[in-house]
Amino acid sequence: MRQKLETIYNSLFSYFGPRNWWQAKTPFEMIVGAILTQAVSWGNVQKAIKNLEEADLLTPEKLFQAEEERIEELIKPTRYFRMKTKKLKAFLNYLFTTHQGDLTQMFNLPLLELREQLLSVYGIGRETVDSILLYVGNFPIFVVDEYTRRIFSRLGLLPEKISYEQMQEFFHTNLPPDTRLFNEFHAQIDALGNQICRPNPDCMHCPLAQLCEKAQGSKI
Ligand code: SF4
């Protein structure tokens, strides 16, 4: 299975090239992006981050002190801006209550302990937590999502009905714990799910067509 995953990764990488995730000026900006990106395009997240930056609120201290109404106004492009403001505030509350507002201290915790703490923060789900751990904390944890489920079930490597933890376990079991690999592999899966392996897949242009159970089956 490891060899198969490596072939998939190499095929995707040759097709899409390096995805360069995750570009941000500071770790805090990356965390804000991870929280805001739920159910909205990355372009809209960037608009909200630019608004926060121009308002000089893109530090833990300043955002923690800012009025909720002001944050809501600035992050309006991300939809569900009231709920997302509450999530940002919940994260900041956790950061200041548990780690004195210090991200370095937070990321010094062991992986599983930090994951458990972050999962207990209001509104921050597994995918967001794991994105923060991988892309900001550089922990070797594989981020999975609905694109992963769709692609790997169509490839015939995972059942469609599988839990988040089981999907993640599949990658942890079959790949070396390599942060850079996990970072790029998830980004490649995102590119395929977003551009080609959509609900109505464009198998003709898919770099994985030769390896895919669904594509090969439809030829028969
Ligand atoms: S060949 Fe088609 S179904 Fe298979 S992964 Fe590619 S786009 Fe998805």
**pLDDT per residue over 13-24, tens digit each?**
999 999 988 778
Return the residue whose CA atom lies nearest to atom 4 of ligand 1. Answer: 212
Q: Is the CATH number 3.10.450.50 carried by domain 27-136?
A: no
Pocket test for ligand 1, best of 4, 5, 16, 151 (most atoms within 8 A of CB): 151
Residues of the chain above pLDDT 90, percent: 91
Pocket test for ligand 1, best of 206, 218, 219 (most atoms within 8 A of CB): 206
Residue 128 pLDDT: 95
SS3 46: helix
Which atom, in ligand 1's list, is nearest to the CA of 196? 7
Residue 25 pLDDT: 87
Cβ atoms of 84 and 107 within 8 Å: the answer is: no
∠ CA 105-110-115, rounded to 5° = 90
Which band of pLDDT confidence, cut at 50, 70 and 90, is reported for residue 219? low
Q: Is the pLDDT of residue 220 over 70?
A: no
Tell whether ligand 1 has an atom less than 6 A from the beta carbon of residue 143: no
- Kindly report whether the global pTM for this prediction surpasses the value 0.85: yes
Tell whether ligand 1 has an atom less than 6 A from the beta carbon of residue 12: no
Exposed e or buried b for every residue in 58-75, given b needs 16+ CB within 10 A?
Answer: bebeebbebeeeebbebb
Q: Is the pLDDT of residue 91 over 90?
A: yes
Tens-place pLDDT, residues 140-176? 999 999 999 999 999 999 999 999 999 999 999 999 9
- Report the chain's mean pLDDT, rounded to a whole number: 95
Q: Report how far ligand 1's centroid is from the alpha carbon of 139 (Å).
A: 29
Q: What is the identity of the amino acid at 111?
A: L
Q: How far, CA to CA in Å, does 68 sit from each of 44, 89, 109? A: 19, 8, 29
Cβ atoms of 169 and 128 within 8 Å: the answer is: no
Which whole number is the average pLDDT over 89-114? 97
Tens-place pLDDT, residues 22-77? 778 899 999 999 999 988 888 999 999 999 999 999 999 999 999 999 999 999 99
Residue 41 pLDDT: 86
Tell whether ligand 1 has an atom less than 6 A from the beta carbon of residue 162: no
Residue 148 pLDDT: 97
Residues of the chain above pLDDT 70, percent: 99
Q: Report how far ligand 1's centroid is from the alpha carbon of 205 (Å).
A: 9
Listing DSSP states for 136-177 in one string gives IT--------HHHHHHHHHHTSS-SS--HHHHHHHHHHHS--
Domain residues of the chain, as ranges?
A: 2-19+143-217, 27-136
CATH class, 2-19+143-217 region: mainly alpha
Contacts of 146 (CB under 8 A, 6+ apart): 193
**Equal fold, 2-19+143-217 vs 27-136:** no
Which whole number is the average pLDDT over 123-129? 94
